[in-house]
Amino acid sequence: MKINGLELKNGLILAPMAGITDAAFRKICFDYGADFTVSEMVSAKAVCYGDKKTDSLARLENGEGKHTSLQIFGSESEFMAKAAAELLKYEPAAIDINMGCPVPKCVKSGEGSALMKNPKLCAEIVKAVVGAVNVPVSVKIRAGFDSKSINAVEVATAVEQAGVSFIAVHGRTREQMYSGKADLAVIKAVKEAVNVPVIANGDVVDGESALRALAETGADALMLGRGALGRPWIFAEVAAVLEGKAYTELSDEEKCATAKLHLKRLVEIKGEDVAILEARKHIAWYSKGRKNSAFLRNRINLATGFIEMNSLINEVFGL
């Protein structure tokens, strides 16, 4: 499958998640079968002002850019275009524009999902970014801002006319945040309204839900987010189902090795002190549903060093 020249074997994409989809996690998911990954969102203004922390978030290394998009957020077309052009130095496969982030900080600034209140502005931003870069430009939107303004189709058609290459649609409103269920009918309506590829996002947690999402929306690809937390091997499971193959669940030893590799990569990229703080949430997710998980999570959240966290991973998987 190709989306604007991007080769996707099974059409499986790791969704952008702030504080989560860093280089370490992207690599783990890619190794398990994600065809494409999207970075954590980076502030367009921060990029333009040369913020070092933002620069580290956007940096792509070891050829990762061939299958990774850099996501930017902001509400001013001038800054968005300038930031997108600046980020090309990392050689991303595409630039993604965040029009779906539901967190209050973004919304209060008129960014993220707040942009959906103004389809005209959405189109202006896309047009500016498309004109500033020589790679595909995508957007990630929601069903609408709230239940009274389900306008994903309106926004999608506006950004298509502005030159967007593909559109990811999360089937929830900003009002819902991550509660309730994703509305697949909204994604279907977007797919039927535009000619560019549409990616379905929301509630894909296993092979069965992946097949249902594709069948009910007619989407060209799937974007997996929260379903991959603590379960990056979900990409292998979904890929097997889509290919009509039997899937064998990983052994506890294999899952343990994955969690340890994740921790190791975090330390290599960010240094031990920062890595351990950021690893706490990931290792806690790996422990979900396992024996003594609540007790272990308390200890995980107090861990201060690599050796201690590595030992806790063994306990999580009973090894």
Active site residues: 101
Alpha-carbon span 22 to 4, nearest angstrom? 24
- How many other CB atoms are there within 10 angstroms of residue 315's CB atom? 17
Burial of 41 (0-12, 13-18, 19+ CB in 10 A): buried
Alpha-carbon span 130 to 308, nearest angstrom? 47
Torsion of CA 49, 52, 58, 62, to 10 degrees: 140
179: which 2 tokens? 């509660």
Backbone phi and psi for residue 89, each to the nearest 5 degrees, phi listed first: -65, -20
The 3-state DSSP class for residue 271 equals coil
2: which 2 tokens? 């190709």
DSSP letter, residue 142: E
DSSP letter, residue 43: E
DSSP letter, residue 101: -
* Element spanning 15, H or E: none
Q: Is the dihedral of CA 36, 115, 186, 198 positive or negative?
A: negative
Question: CA dist 267 to 38, 177, 232, 258, 301, Å?
Answer: 21, 31, 18, 14, 17
- How many other CB atoms are there within 10 angstroms of residue 292's CB atom? 12
Closest Cα partner for 225 from 284, 288, 178, 281? 178
DSSP one-letter string for 241-253: HHTT---PPPPHH
